[in-house]
Structure 1
Amino acid sequence: MGDVEVEKPFIRPFHTPPAYLTAQTKKVATSFKEELESVVQPVKISKHADQRIQARNIQIQPEEWQLLEKKMAEAKKMGITDSLVLMKNAALIVSTKNHAVITALERKEASSQIFTNINGTIVID
């Protein structure tokens, strides 16, 4: 006997479209400031930096710390990992990667120093 070919009916597979095609996405416009504030974390101060701040009696106001937090977040977004921060009364070496102050010195003391292993500078006056 000859081979008999039986034609099988085509069954369309049940397919659910991905959620991103069916659900309407909400695009909420957020300002850069709002986005930045959501990322801002408190700055950690290393033991070494804390000792130097105390020993040198460096005064940094709460508003300056808040501004430093924001500037560190901005610098991190730009790819800066280690930065020199120049303030009115202080110069700080910070790690944006760890969101920490590594060391501190008086601003006038910083004017005669060479800083290495940094890839950005933040000036806060």
Structure 2
Amino acid sequence: MVKSFLHQIPVQTLAPKQLFQQPAIRERSVNERFSAHLQQEINKDTHQLTISKHAGERMEQRGIFINDKTWNQVSKKIYEAKTKGVNESLVILKDAALIVSAKNQTVITAMNRHEASSQIFTNINGTILLD
């Protein structure tokens, strides 16, 4: 006569909360990595503005000089405006005013602040003030 033994393996039941806990952790990790990658790309200096021929000529004629630090600020703000749906923006600086196509990241025209104070700006759906 053969004796057979059954070995029972203890079974642990999982509550519904425990069943879904692991994927949530993985999803959060993926989101955190994506967020970090997105922020890294935003912080890159890939959002450089192009100066149109017309704007370049106006800047030269009017003696407008904008330093690199200010250009970087303008570039970042234009990119931010673009992400918020702005197509054409008026950028007001301490000594100059620029009309910039956020859509194309191109400076369309430039004028000094004195000249800009007597202008009417149309077809602009965003304004950036950088003093």
Q: Normalised by the shorter chain, which TM-score bucket?
A: 0.7 to 0.9
Cα deviation 1:32-86 (Å, max 9, x = unaligned): 8535224842100000000000000101111000001100000001100000000
Alignment coverage as a number of residue pairs? 103
Unpaired runs of 5+ residues, structure 2, are 1-22
Match of 1:94 in 2: 100
Q: Does the CA-based 8 Å contact 1:53-1:104 persist in structure 2?
A: yes
| CA–CA separation in structure 2 for the residues paired with 1:74 and 1:109 | 27
Distance 2:94 2:116 in 1: 11
Match of 1:83 in 2: 89
Report the counterpart of residue 113 of structure 1 in structure 2.
119
4+ runs deviating over 6 angstroms: none
Unaligned 5+ segments in structure 1 are 1-20
Q: Normalised by the size of structure 2, how large is the TM-score? A: 0.71
What's the counterpart of residue 48 of structure 2?
Answer: 42
> Offset at 1:108?
1.4
Question: Which position in structure 2 is the counterpart of 1:55?
Answer: 61
